[in-house]
Amino acid sequence: MAKNMKPYFDAAVKNIVSHGDTDIFPYPIENHVLFDSEKELVKLLRNAYSNFDEYFAVNSPSHITTLSPVGYTGFRWASQLDPFWNAYFLGVVLAIAEEIESSRIPIKNKTIFSYRINPVGKKSKIFDDKIGWPEFVERSKELASEHNYVLCVDIADCYTRIPHHRLENALKQLKIRNSGPAHIKEILSNFSDTRSTGVPIGGPAARILVELVLNMTDKLLASNGVIFCRFADDYHEFCKSHDDAYAKLTFISEKLLRNERLSLQKAKTRIMSSEEFLSAQSILETREDDDDHTDERDFMNISLRYDPYSDDRDERYDQLKAELKKFDILGMLNRELQKTRTHGVLAKRLIKSIQHLKKPVKNNAALTLIENLDILYPLFPIVATTIKSIFFELPDVTQNKICQVLREGISSRNHVFQIEMHLAYAARVLGESKTPENEDALVDIFNNSTSNMVRRDVILIMSKWRVFYWLSDLMNDFNSLGAWERRAFIIASYQLDDAGSHWRDHMKNRFNDFELLVRDWAAEKSQIKEWQVPI
């Protein structure tokens, strides 16, 4: 009997709507469609599951793949999955997630702390939020105090190098009797262009699958008497002596290379005495007696998590603001900007906290951010998202200054904006202010970019602004647009009045199932007075 996939597709869609599909890319408009058309989407997903081979062939995925900066000079590939197939991928993974969890080293062993899975339908969150990085750090300290040496290793480019055949073998060991593993294999093969390595970075489905693959190394270490704990691709192993630590380093290096074709990051591989490990600052590289950095250490220890949909959201928000009042956010940010390179974790938290501050401080903070884009280059997505979130609270002079800096940076091909992802985030900030200068800048961005992601966002912004002349001209090129651009233009067509209506009638037989869902969503939203395209 075929597995009832409805609960798993329901859970997948709810998770994507609540948390996004990755923590790297701009939030796609398709996720709004998922939120408002959940039942219709789940029906499409179930139909695809029952007729997978044909459906996948006719509606093959269109993914966005682009460079994402790592630090100031490094890059990694980042991928945003086709929205429909992203929901499908997560659904089929969730359908086997309990089997994956039961195959892992049990939680009670206090060994594996990353992405422990809640049963679907029992809790709203996919992962157990009581087990994570803080518990990993605490357990590491506990074990370090009981041993003489600690070996710290980190797997290099783990997600992009995971071999598909090892994942396939691990799935076979679960004895799963539904077709989910075969579908997962096909989706990953499409994602990697048949290179047989790599899973998408950032989404929960990939995290679950990577945990399954690493579980084989975990069990190998445990069966050989290694005392260790792991969070994601970080291993801490606890040793009797320096020679013992080196032997364990040789062992894990050999097993990862031979079995998984994975290697360790040389720069992050360290053998430390327990005293050195315990005294090291895990967050800031400062001495305990360094009073100049007390604020930074205390700030890093507060939680910025805030759920705007919780029952006690007002109380929690007041508590968060009260906590932040204790700190000179702008002062700490300025101190970070005096450095040649910012401390990424601290700077990111400081930038995110700006949206919770008072208006005058927000204005000064926004100016500080926009004037220091070179230093904040690796954090530009956070910078742009924060500025966008407070844009309408800023005075006109600051808004104009922000847009001017972005336009000049884009037109001069400043290195910050040579990254497609950065260009998409910058376009979204410009989209907050409809001016002739910003309109011209967006037209240039569209004409000079080959990125589906960037061009999609320009289409949506022009739709929000109701730029009729530009949209009506683009209508002639619809058949040459990429999948993400097509969906954006279908939404934009509702700003073209009768011309858009005639065009949709003419084109409706050329829309695929998901495009029809997007069309119906846009039709309903366009009837709402003063509704604007959400971007």
Pick from 84, 209, 92: nearest CA to 159: 209
If you count DSSP H runs as helices and E runs as strands, how many of each does the chain have, helices first? 27, 6
Three-class secondary structure of residue 380 per DSSP: helix
Can you read off the two tokens belonging to residue 193? 């262009």
Cα 339 to its chain centre, rounded Å, is 27
> What is the rounded distance in angstroms from the CA atom of residue 296 to the CA atom of residue 498?
58
Report which DSSP code applies to 123: B
Tokens of 73: 């000079």
pLDDT at residue 329 in the model: 63
Q: Which has the closest alpha carbon to 373: 324, 329, 400, 408?
A: 408
- Residue by residue, pLDDT tens for the chain (535 residues) are 357 899 999 999 998 888 777 768 888 999 999 999 999 999 999 999 999 999 999 998 998 888 888 877 888 888 888 999 999 999 999 999 999 999 999 999 999 999 999 988 777 789 998 999 889 999 999 999 999 999 999 999 898 899 999 999 999 998 887 888 999 999 999 888 878 898 888 789 999 999 999 999 999 999 999 999 999 999 999 999 999 999 999 999 999 999 999 999 988 899 999 999 988 744 433 433 344 455 555 555 545 454 444 454 455 545 555 555 555 666 767 777 776 666 667 778 888 888 877 888 888 888 888 888 888 888 899 889 999 999 999 999 999 999 999 999 999 999 999 999 999 999 999 999 999 999 999 999 999 999 999 999 999 999 999 999 999 999 999 999 999 999 999 999 999 989 999 999 999 999 999 999 999 999 999 999 888 999 8
Distance CA 60, CA 42 (A): 18
**Closest Cα to residue 126, out of 204, 40, 237?**
204
**Can you tell me the distance from the alpha carbon of 97 to that of 208, in angstroms, rounded to the nearest whole number?**
7
Question: How far apart (Å, rounded) are the C-alpha atoms in residues 361 and 128?
Answer: 36
505's CB contacts (< 8 A; 6+ apart) are: none
Tokens describing residue 470:
């530009």
Distances (CA, A) of 375 to 38, 78, 370: 41, 22, 10
Contact 243, 257 (CB under 8 A): no
CA–CA separation, 502 and 494 (whole Å): 11
Contact between residue 284 and residue 343 where contact means Cβ atoms under 8 Å apart: yes
Q: Which helix (H) or strand (E) holds 199?
A: none
Sheet containing 270-273: which strands, arranged edge to edge?
227-231, 234-239, 149-154, 270-273
User: In 10 A of CB 503, how many CB atoms?
Assistant: 18
pLDDT score at 289: 36
Predicted pLDDT at 341:
64
Give me the pLDDT at residue 354, please: 84
Long-range contacts formed by 317-324: CB under 8 A, 24+ apart: 317/356, 320/356, 321/356, 324/353, 324/356, 324/357
- Cα separations (Å) of 472 from 54, 445, 466, 534? 35, 18, 10, 20
